[in-house]
Chain A
Amino acid sequence: MSNKIVPGIYRAVIDDVIANIKPEFDEYGVAEDVLAELQHKWENKVIASHVAEFETPAPAQVSQHPPQHHLAYPPHPMHMMQHPHYAANPYALPQPGMSAVKAEPIDNRYMLGMPYALPPLPGPNLNGARPVPPHPGGQTGVISFPRPLQPQPPGARTTYVPPPVSQAQSQPAQQSQPAQRIPQVDGPSESSGDEDDSPPPSQGQAFAPRTSHPSLPQPRASTSTSAPPPHDSEAINSDLDDSDTEGEEEAEEGVAGETDIVFCTYDKVKKLSRPSSPCSSDLQVARVKNKWKCILKDGMIHVNGKDYLFAKCTGEFEW
């Protein structure tokens, strides 16, 4: 089931992003703990979204490594030092390497680099850190994926929703705010510019006022939005004209956007010799009368509150 692979893939993505963005943080002069905080927040939100079962893979990582050290070696200052190292740089080491690489020299080097955080940690180490969940700092993020689940029940997620809407998107009127998983349609297009705006424009007129609502200069919108007196906006007919189609689009897009969506790419398919197939010679989506067939790739499905991933999806529709 492709839902099962979601935690592992998301884990890999998070680790990859954090590891690869570290130089940028250095370049911008941002402290490392901010990066750790980012990772922590990100993980918490992914877990809180409940798009997959995130508990299962993580406990293995959490419980295995610390005990191994303690079983193999008696408590010794040197081993206590390892944990600050792991905790402070969770993303610096690949997971499998953690158990294998326990060269003390490396830890010594890191020790010199980071003189902090030694005193508080020996306690949890000696006790075999597993039953002690509360690590307030964001640094334990990689290893403690499941932990934040308890302090962050699903309801807590609603608190996260407002910021992006108010910040990244300044079109509150058209955005269906209450939906927590809407962002698909408008989110990417907002941040990405023209290229990804492309799906809507095919209904250009219906969407034009929508995208240009807040800031973009548009003659019609300016009369209704920028002019404060309410009489104008009510009296103008152009708005009425738009509202009809716009309402339909809202209903159509809104429902779909709020609930279920697939992000994917489509692959090239050879030209079909059938006369009724659409025009171009590099067809990715084939049609015969009302039968459609398409090959989708690298998709992320969000349906019924769960995420699924696929490398390839064959779609067959009747229009």
Chain B
Amino acid sequence: MELFLYKVLKVAAASLKMILLMTLIAAFALPQLSDAMNLGTLQKQSSADIGAGETAVFHILFWNAQDQEYSVKISDSKMPQGWTVIVNPKQFLLNSTPAGNTERIYLPGAKNTVIAEVADIYVIVPKNESIGNYIVSIMAAAGNGTGPGFLLMQERQFSFDVNVVRGFVQKPAEAADPRTILINTMPPISEQSAEYNASSNTERTQEENRYGRFAVYLFAGVIIIILAWRVYLHD
């Protein structure tokens, strides 16, 4: 009975595979876009000393030296509890000739000056905030949104050190060192199994979880063995 069921399932799997192979995927069927996407950014200030209840203002320049315009959306990604960050403008179309709040930036490579859109970042510190250094970071995503295939977007993260110099005297909140660099050490494909490459993300996540659990079990086992050995020696 089990052998019969196994054969039935095997035939069904083979049939399904054939159907899938005969089905053509139309994904990634896109006209080739070869337009370049240029994004230049300049963070004019990275730190400010202000008192509790006050507002720090930072400026970020965005420019696009290419002809094709794209959208830029700025979002606040990290701020201390109770703080308010206002970004103006929060979303805008960036081209080579922006209007409004602008500055100019000289591009030494092009020996040319381009007009940059200025985004004002207002960081409002709560009145009851204690003295200390705080980190506020925002993220800007630039590109022409989503569409068929793999569209490109550029992102930039901007961090601001806000030093609250007046207010309630409390122990400064601990903040992560923003200058810590984490280097990606992911192994290349050649060092991975073929199953890994062919799997979906969900499958790979399950694989990672399995390896993680195995590592925990192994570590726990080693600890138990070491403790048992110590107890044995002590006895």
- Check if A and B associate: no
